[in-house]
Amino acid sequence: MMRAVIFDLDNTLTDFMKMKERAVEAAAEAMIDAGLPRTKAEVIAGINEVYAAEGIEYQRVFDRYLIGALGRLDFRIHAAGVVAYRRAREGTLATYPHVNATLVELLKRGLKLGVLSDAPRLQAWLRLGYLQLHNLFDAVVTYEDTGVRKPAPEPFRHILGVLGVTAGEALMVGDWPRRDIEGARALGIRTVYARYGDTSGELCYEADYVIDDIAEVIRIVDELAGDNS
């Protein structure tokens, strides 16, 4: 019996990479306008190098980049970049098509909903709040809750425990084959590969289902309910 659907957040519910690219581009332009003696391409490449070294959620990326580029932290340039980044982030962060309607339909079916993300807790909640999704989920589990990232089993076990369901009663929807799909399958959770959001470049052969629109989750849930009737 299916009792819960668990979603990855970034690139499954929201187009995180598109938002990130546009925000970094806006920050680069603003820092150059504030006096940074670099080309736009050089600034974007430098910022992305920091993200590659420290992780895409690194919160001191502009500090690190400017110190490396200038040998010091110029607060006028720094502030310009931060403000532009935040404005662009808020302007471009959006859900994929049909996310809200799909979540509502799943709730109507009496299912529990969860988010399982490797993002920092505050950043995950900020994104959910900005997208007005924060009240739709029964559980939100982030990196701080277990101290390890997917595909380790601890995050999956933790959200199953919070939701009060077994692995056989849950469905995991995610865009990253190794982290989301392999991690869930290792515990016996049914899996849905969100091909529409995958930026990993990995091939996914092991998912129970493959979707190109999140609305397809409703059909999958209904099929599973029919199999159990």
Domain ranges within the chain, ordered by starting residue: 4-15+94-227, 17-92
Share of the chain above pLDDT 70, in %: 98
Tell me the two tokens of residue 135.
């009240």
pTM: 0.89
CATH of 4-15+94-227, one of 3.40.710.10, 3.40.50.1000, 3.40.50.300, 3.40.50.10190: 3.40.50.1000
Mean pLDDT of all residues belonging to the chain:
95
Cβ-based burial of 188 (10 A; exposed 0-12, middle 13-18, buried ≥19) = exposed
pLDDT at site 226: 82
Which pLDDT score, from 0 to 100, does residue 47 have?
A: 98
206-221 confidence digits (pLDDT tens): 899 999 999 999 999 9
How far apart are the C-alpha atoms of 190 and 103, rounded to whole Å?
A: 18
- Give per-residue pLDDT as tens, 4-26: 999 999 999 999 989 999 999 99
CATH 1.10.150.520 for domain 17-92, yes or no, is yes
